[in-house]
Amino acid sequence: MKTRLSFLLILISFFAFAQTEEKKLDELIQNTLKTFDVPGISVGIIKDGKVIYSKGFGVRSLTTNQRMTDETLVGIASNSKGFTATALAMLADEGKLNFDDKVSKYIPEFQMNDAYVSQEVTIKDLITHRAGLGLGQGDLMFFPEGGSLTVNDIIHNVRYLKPDHSFRTTLEYNNVMFIVAGEVIHRVSGLSWAEFIEQRILKPVGMSSSYGSYNRAKAARVPNIIDAHAPVDGKVVAVPHDWNETGNAAGGIISNIKDMSVWAEFLMNGFTTKEGKKLVSDKQIQQLWNLQISTPVALKNPYDSNFAGYGLGWFITDVKGHKQVYHTGGLIGTVTQFTLIPDMKLGIIVLTNQQSGAAFSTITNTIKDSYLGMPEKDWLKTYGDRMAKVNADYDKGKKEIFAKSEAFRKDKNAQIKADQIVGTYIDPWFGEVTIANEGKTFRIYCKNSPRLKGELLPYSSNVMIAKWDDRSYDADAFVNFNLNENGKAQGMKLKPISDVTDFSFDFEDLDLQKVK
């Protein structure tokens, strides 16, 4: 009787503790919403095969004020990369490809800028960010949304991207190579990337509410889906939540907390479904979750990490002696984070409808620290203070640049004239960019990225500022005209005016030459 009473007391204290921790987490998420001005966040925790937390907070759209729940669909963005790698591993298990196969075996027309690399680049190189391309290089071919280039166009244009690094020497995050990997899946399987993901992974795993692309979710008229949100002139507003079909293999999946919790359990259960079907062999899992290319780790860091880098479709590091497999994802107006500590059977998922990485880091780190038994740290204050300073510095820098532009406008004689710059410019991989004189203003238009258009403001004798019409981009750029001895533009280079600009606006990789 005494033993039974003791057991009951233990149970009661356990549930009381669990309720206390749940309440603390609820409060943290609510405060995170306020601190980083995020309309909606959903969070899931899976431990030892059970979902122990699955909630939504705030609203899924500032336009409708409908509630965010754990069933609200969100674009998981680059968390899709793990699905791309899993798809390739399945095809490898079926004997249809090998990770060390040359890309040219499946896409004969594929070429990179260097002839040797073109011959040697493998499927594994595509999904480890080690092919030599720079951070976000080539992303303007599909980012921001609304571009006209096809997957085949992107594959063709890769040959014009001049590498930032030597082949297989450096981890530089790159989306375009995942698009190429998605085309390998298409050519080997006969299915589009989205079809393969839905039929061969999402459905068998039990992710019944998820879709392989935004357009497929939109076609199904799903009602419970976010609007994306981004700061515009200091106020967060709803922006289009869509994604170019060409970028699906790099970041196209639409999912929610419930389904991503199923995904987490599937992965930590040896890539085995609830019905006991193993979709990926242990041999292939070893490749997926083993370090393929490393990146430096600070000698002193909060988690005593000794290594970090990328596997196949996943970031990998160690935290307090435990292996961590994780990824983040970001689109304009939404960011997500997915974290696994497999030997602890712990999964943490955070989905948001705003683009504040500090918000998901606050929540993930707080939960992770609790399970790792680390001293309590106020991550909300740490990230809140940091971002307040960073954003203030960004705003100050941008204001100074626009103030300089405003002052320069008073000197009409020193400003660039229409006959110097108006015309068509071409970059070999991005295509045509037009500078037009419309009334008293200059305008810039990008043929293959029609949403990327805006006004050109005077800045100096040969530099203007591209102020994009869509203010949610936060990607205004210097336009530096290369003038010849007669003062006529021969070409132009672009550069973001602020470090706040997302790396996928890879303006600095453009080399635009005037053709007419």
Q: For the chain, which domains are there?
A: 35-377 (3.40.710.10), 401-514 (2.40.128.50)
Cite the beta strand spans of 158-260 per DSSP E. 228-232, 235-239, 254-255
Q: What are the helix and strand counts (H, E) for the chain?
A: 15, 20
User: Cβ–Cβ contacts within 10 Å for residue 46, how many?
Assistant: 23
User: Cβ–Cβ contacts within 10 Å for residue 420, how many?
Assistant: 17
246 — phi, psi (to 5°)? -65, -25
pLDDT tens-place values along the chain, 516 residues long: 344 444 444 444 344 436 678 889 999 999 999 999 999 999 999 999 999 999 999 999 999 999 999 999 999 999 999 999 999 999 999 999 999 999 999 999 999 999 999 999 999 999 999 999 999 999 999 999 888 999 999 999 999 999 999 999 999 999 999 999 999 999 999 999 999 999 999 999 999 999 999 999 989 999 999 999 999 988 999 998 777 889 999 999 999 999 999 999 999 999 999 999 999 999 999 999 999 999 999 999 999 999 999 999 999 999 999 999 999 999 999 999 999 999 999 999 999 999 999 999 999 999 999 999 999 899 999 999 999 999 999 999 999 999 999 999 888 888 899 999 999 999 999 999 999 999 889 999 999 999 999 999 999 999 999 999 999 999 999 999 999 999 999 999 999 999 999 999 999 999 999 998
Backbone dihedral region of 474: left (phi > 0), alpha (psi from -120 to 50 degrees) or beta? left
CA–centroid distance for 95 within its chain: 31
Q: Within 13 Å and on the Cβ side, how many CA atoms surround 166?
A: 1
Reported pTM: 0.93
First to last CA, the chain: 93
Q: Is 255 exposed, middle or buried (0-12, 13-18, 19+ CB in 10 A)?
A: buried
The pLDDT of residue 410 is: 84
Report the distance separating Cα 369 and Cα 350, nearest Å. 15
The pLDDT of residue 439 is: 86
Complete DSSP assignment for 293-327: EE----SS-TT----EEE-SSSEEEEETTEEEEEE
Helix (H, G, I), strand (E, B) or coil at 288: helix
The pLDDT of residue 233 is: 85
The pLDDT of residue 7 is: 46
Q: Is 37 exposed, middle or buried (0-12, 13-18, 19+ CB in 10 A)?
A: middle
Angle, alpha carbons 343-348-351 (nearest 5°):
155
Eight-class DSSP state of 404 = H
